[in-house]
């Protein structure tokens, strides 16, 4: 049976505590959980809450394996603006996990790198729980609006909208500093996760959330394709939900 749940939260902080609680419950049920993780501002309170749980002795991730959704092309360990660095700063430097993987965006042969990532995920039995944010244009991971549904891990050219969003969030508005390409898990791959949680907060996500939940199911709004999944939960604050009926 299909399970699509929408949980509405007061604000961003509540999204953090509700989502972290759901993740912790899954880890308790299955200490060997394979967890898919996003970057961005939205998941920061989730990661803070998980760190708090760990500090209080209420969370053990020592057998949990993580796979990040994406990485900027040519970035990785040692680059201050890589997703690798972001995740270490916000989560992995604080909580020990069994293993944490990222697409290798520094490999000369990008096709091989993408394929290696897909194989690695398969070898771990696939993703049990995938956490997602959403772009203001409805993108998930770095799957931008398109006429086709992307398949597995692949190289992506970012849209102007995403470059400009990221410039404002992380590069003081300087679009010239934002990487133009990234390696991202594909949509079909994301949809293979056993369960999915998408989190969104703020007015700037209201249109994307409206299109995702009440618009057509189409790769033009990548997040809307989540409505085809068997077990998906949307955790959104009042501002992100403001255009919903
Ligand atoms: C980037 C990431 C996505 C993320 C999105 C929204 O494009 N690749 O995974 O969901 O930004 O980020 P934020 O949470 O900062 O709004």
Question: What is residue 40's DSSP assignment?
Answer: S
Give me the mean pLDDT over the 217-239 stretch. 98
Question: What is residue 70's DSSP assignment?
Answer: E
Domain-by-domain residue ranges, the chain?
3-237
Pocket test of ligand 1: the residue of 67, 86, 134, 208 to mutate, having most ligand atoms within 8 Å of its CB, is 134
In this prediction, residue 108 carries a pLDDT of 84
The mean pLDDT value of the chain amounts to 96
Q: What is the CATH number of domain 3-237?
A: 3.40.50.1360
Helix (H, G, I), strand (E, B) or coil at 172: coil
In this prediction, residue 245 carries a pLDDT of 86
Give me the mean pLDDT over the 178-207 stretch. 97
* Per-residue model confidence as pLDDT tens digits over 115-135: 999 999 999 999 999 999 999
Q: Is the model's pLDDT at 45 over the cut of 80? A: yes
Q: Is the model's pLDDT at 59 over the cut of 80? A: yes
Residue 44: pLDDT band with limits 50, 70, 90: very high
Give me the mean pLDDT over the 204-223 stretch. 98
Spot the catalytic one: 128, 144, 211, 237: 144
Residue 169 CA to ligand 1 centre (angstroms): 10
């Amino acid at each position: 049976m299909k399970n699509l749940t929408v949980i509405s939260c007061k604000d961003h902080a509540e999204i953090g505590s509700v989502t972290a609680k759901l993740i912790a419950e899954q880890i308790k049920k299955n200490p060997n959980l394979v967890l898919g993780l996003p970057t961005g501002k939205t998941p920061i309170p989730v990661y803070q809450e998980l760190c708090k749980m760990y500090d209080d002795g209420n969370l053990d991730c020592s057998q949990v394996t993580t796979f990040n959704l994406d990485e900027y092309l040519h970035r990785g360990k040692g680059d201050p603006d890589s997703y690798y660095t972001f995740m270490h700063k916000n989560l992995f430097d604080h909580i020990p996990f069994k293993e944490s993987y990222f697409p290798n965006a520094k490999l000369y042969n990008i096709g091989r790198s993408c394929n290696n990532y897909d194989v690695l995920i398969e070898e771990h039995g696939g993703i049990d729980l995938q956490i997602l944010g959403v772009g203001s244009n409805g993108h998930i991971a770095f799957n931008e609006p398109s006429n086709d549904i992307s398949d597995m891990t692949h190289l992506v050219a970012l849209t102007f909208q995403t470059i400009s969003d990221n410039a404002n969030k992380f590069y003081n508005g300087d679009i010239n500093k934002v990487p133009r390409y990234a390696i991202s898990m594909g949509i079909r791959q994301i949809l293979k996760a056993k369960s999915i949680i998408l989190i969104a907060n703020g007015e700037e996500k209201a249109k994307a959330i409206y299109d995702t939940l009440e618009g057509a199911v189409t790769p033009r709004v990548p997040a809307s394709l989540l409505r085809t999944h068997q077990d998906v939960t949307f955790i959104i604050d009042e501002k992100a939900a403001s255009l919903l009926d």
